Amino acid sequence: MSASGTDAEAARHGLLPALPEDWQRCLAVAAHPDDIEYGTACAVARWTGQGRTVTYLLATRGEAGIDGIPPERAGPLREEEERAGARAVGVEVVEFLDHTDGVVEGGVGLRRDIVRAVRRHRPQIMVSGDFGVRMVGGMTNQADHRVVGLAALDAARDAGNRWIFPELADEGLEPWGGVRLVCFAGAARPTHGVDVSGPPLEAGIASLEAHAAYTRGLGDRAFEARPFLTWMARTGGPAIGAGAAILFDVHVLIPDGPPPWV
């Protein structure tokens, strides 16, 4: 990914570059309902407002996420909250893989499921949550987040190789090697940012507010979406010289120009 004049100017001022937006389709991959809504949905609102297509892929239905509600009731409830949150930011398609909440297993099964979605939706970028043990602020990352984030990164490349999961061809899913960028929110060391000032931040707040049952279920850890997301976005804004921003650690799979050693 070569630096544009805008990126070079940002670098001169000690700012992170803006995440490129010269693409049309994005796949957002997360472990649980509400994961995307902790900031990423603000960026999604910006992109759908520009006419881009974003699809959500959830590894689980979040059935283990509410202490006071048993999984058989919590799963459908959280699924509906996720669909409502997606609608708030202009996302029409939300898919669930039905892995088990809390004990998502990494490995070829999860990677295959994500590759299947990548080949079907053919995104040019993917977004997910950080897969490091420690997230921004030093917070210890949850096990499912780590597993799903790393699987998403691996699947983005696997999807273009016809000899990895060749059985998907029997489903009519041809290889898709068009994922240029895989972007992780919540990373301790972000590389790019998305300006979400104004309507995108407001839409993102509405998206998180859709998870009311989950938020109430947090008990003493419950919070209000508006002050939380406003604080988060305003904290990220100065990194790109904006009033509000969501920051990402971006992995480049298809560079815009030749490699630096050429």
Tell me the pLDDT tens digit for each residue of 192-231.
Answer: 999 999 999 999 999 999 999 888 888 878 789 999 999 9
Q: How many Cβ atoms are within 10 Å of 115's Cβ, its own excluded?
A: 26
Q: Return the SS3 of 100.
A: coil
Asked whether residue 4 carries a pLDDT value surpassing 60, the answer given is no
* pTM of the full structure: 0.93
- Quote the CATH superfamily of domain 26-252: LmbE-like (3.40.50.10320)
What is the pLDDT, as a whole number, of residue 8? 64
Query: What is the pLDDT of the chain when averaged over all its residues?
Result: 93
User: How many angstroms separate the CA atoms of 76 and 219, rounded?
Assistant: 20
Q: Where are the domains of the chain?
A: 26-252
User: How many angstroms separate the CA atoms of 37 and 244, rounded?
Assistant: 16
- Is there a contact between 84 and 110 (Cβ–Cβ < 8 Å)? no
